[in-house]
Amino acid sequence: MRADARKNRDHLLAVAGSAITEQGVDVSLRDIARRADVGLATLLRHFPTREALLDALLRTSFDELTAKAVELESSGSPEDALLSWLRDCVGWTTEYRGVTVLMAAAIEDTQSALHASCVTLRAAGARLLTRAQAAGVARADIDGADLFALIAMLAWLGDQSALAPRADRLFGVVASALLTNPGERDPQTPG
């Protein structure tokens, strides 16, 4: 990609990130283009669909969370690794309002531009969960799909202004339910 095209693309992503943070994933593409001071056709040339824009915007975060899971697999206790990664995922998903709805749909839709990233992220979390289960510190009756759903549920709480003040406490409740020996540590402070 040419340097000027890369610069334009990066600018569009920065503007889209701000718009989605403020208004949620349903923000108008026309509004994003207007904020970026480009025409809608220019935006669509770079990102032909909303999902393509979101995939480009979110890919770096997906990659970082996946890399963190790989790093955590070999460091720290299985319990701390799982809870740390879970907290990071929930925190990240609340950064972009409404993204969990798209992620939940994309995980099941192989045609979605977000599908591959969501599957990779879910697999990374599943490996941490499996490691914790093998160590006997996480419930054996849940899987990576359940963990992904828990992330979506906790992120949804953060998206709701009336419930957001309860999000940290409820993260602790869910984390305690995920663990087999929750009374031994405070799940709100992983690591």
Instruction: Give the pLDDT confidence of 110-159 residue by residue, as tens digits.
Output: 998 888 988 999 999 999 999 999 999 999 999 999 999 999 888 888 87
| Burial profile 70-87: b = 16 or more Cβ within 10 angstroms, e = fewer | eebbeeebbbbbbbbbbb
The domain ranges of the chain are 1-48, 50-181
Q: pLDDT at position 167, please? A: 87
Q: What class is the 50-181 domain?
A: mainly alpha
pLDDT score of 182: 57
What pLDDT score does 5 carry?
77
Q: Report the pLDDT value the prediction gives residue 189, as an integer from 0 to 100.
A: 47
Between 144 and 1, name the one with better pLDDT. Answer: 144
Across 50-54, 68-72, 95-99, 163-167, which has the greatest mean pLDDT? Answer: 68-72
What type of residue is 170? L
d(CA 135, CA 84): 16
Task: Specify whether domain 1-48 bears CATH 1.10.10.60.
Answer: yes
Query: pTM for the whole thing?
Result: 0.80
pLDDT tens per residue, range 5-60: 788 889 999 999 899 888 888 899 999 999 999 999 999 999 998 888 988 888 88
> Tell me, what's the pLDDT at 135?
94
Whether pLDDT at 183 is above 70:
no
Residue 184: what pLDDT? Answer: 52
CB 100 within 8 A of CB 157: no
Q: pLDDT band for position 75 (50/70/90)?
A: confident
Contact 113, 62 (CB under 8 A): no
Q: Which amino acid is at 152?
A: A
